[in-house]
Homo-oligomer: A and B are copies of this chain.
Amino acid sequence: MAKVKLTVAYDGTDFHGFSRQPGLRTVQGELEAAVCRICGTPYEVYGASRTDAGVHAKKQVAHIVLDERMQLPIERIGYALRMQMPRDIVVQDVSRVADQFHARHDAMRKVYRYFFATTRAPDVFRARYQMNVPVPLNDEAMRLGAVHLIGRHDFTSFCFAHAQQESKVRTLHSLEVVRVDEATLYLEVVGKSFLHNMVRILAGTLLEVGKGRIPPAQIQHILASRDRRAAGPTAPARGLTLWDIAYPSDCDAPVQELSS
């Protein structure tokens, strides 16, 4: 038995999300098919974050539990997988990790960015990765609204109404509004875990604040109402990118000294 950690990036546009679904093109499905092609037997690929259809990843992490059926040495799996992947998935790194490592359970912090194009003529080479909002956005108002969301709260108002998660309490470590240039602005949301559609509803609500339709101070009332209808619309998937996932240094480090 050997545990292997994969770091992958993908353009989510042409995927029905991360999680395997019969008959649909998914990131997990493509990864598992490639692993199967290089070793001849199926292995499950466990992802840290089950990104929705259309959501991108600059850094997604997954693990595979290999056994003696894997003939390829671990140091060659990365190269072999890269040769197998379609252009919209890039396998960045493959490394041996401690047997206890679990991509999802051990994730300490996930970073998502939601990108807005804020000019009438957006960058066509970024159009797949951002929401086009051809009106000026008041990023200072968005920052004032965002402050109310940081910390531990019941985020029912910012959760897909039919979500299955029982507890709607989550902790936002940070929520920043960053203006890159005249044409681009993004939200950076950091937390350990999120509710269904939570980042996209946060983005859609702060967008209303940026447009002047919701005053920043109203965000605390939206939060307190615990009512999805009080918040803004769910911003489109294409603006959202899973940006980074952090692990405690002891379980994230490649373990070269262990033998299988």
Contact = CB atoms under 8 A, between A and B. Distances in A.
Interface stretch (A62-70, A86-94, A137-145, A149-157): A86-94
Contact of A11 (B56, B92, B121, B127): B127
This chain's copy number in the assembly? 2
A124 interface: yes
A127 B87 contact: yes
B90 A121 contact: yes
A124 B58 CA distance: 8
Contacts of A82: 120-121, 134
Contacts of A122: 90
A192 interface: no
Interface in A82-105: 82, 87-93
A88 B127 contact: yes
B10 A90 contact: no
A116 to B, nearest CB: 15
Given A82-B120, A120-B82, A125 B87 contact: no
A55 to B, nearest CB: 13
A128 interface: yes
Contacts of A121: 9, 82, 90-93
A158 interface: no
A15 B94 CA distance: 35
A125 B11 CA distance: 6
Nearest to A120: B82
A248 to B, nearest CB: 24
Interface string A1-31: 0000000011100000000000000000000
Given A9-B121, A90-B121, 18 more contacts: A9-B123, A9-B125, A11-B124, A11-B125, A11-B127, A11-B128, A56-B125, A58-B124, A58-B125, A82-B120, A82-B134, A87-B128, A88-B124, A88-B127, A90-B122, A93-B121, A125-B128, A125-B129
26 contacts: A9-B121, A9-B125, A10-B124, A11-B127, A11-B128, A56-B124, A58-B124, A58-B125, A79-B120, A82-B120, A82-B121, A82-B134, A87-B127, A87-B128, A87-B132, A88-B124, A89-B124, A90-B121, A90-B123, A90-B124, A90-B127, A91-B121, A92-B121, A93-B121, A125-B128, A125-B129
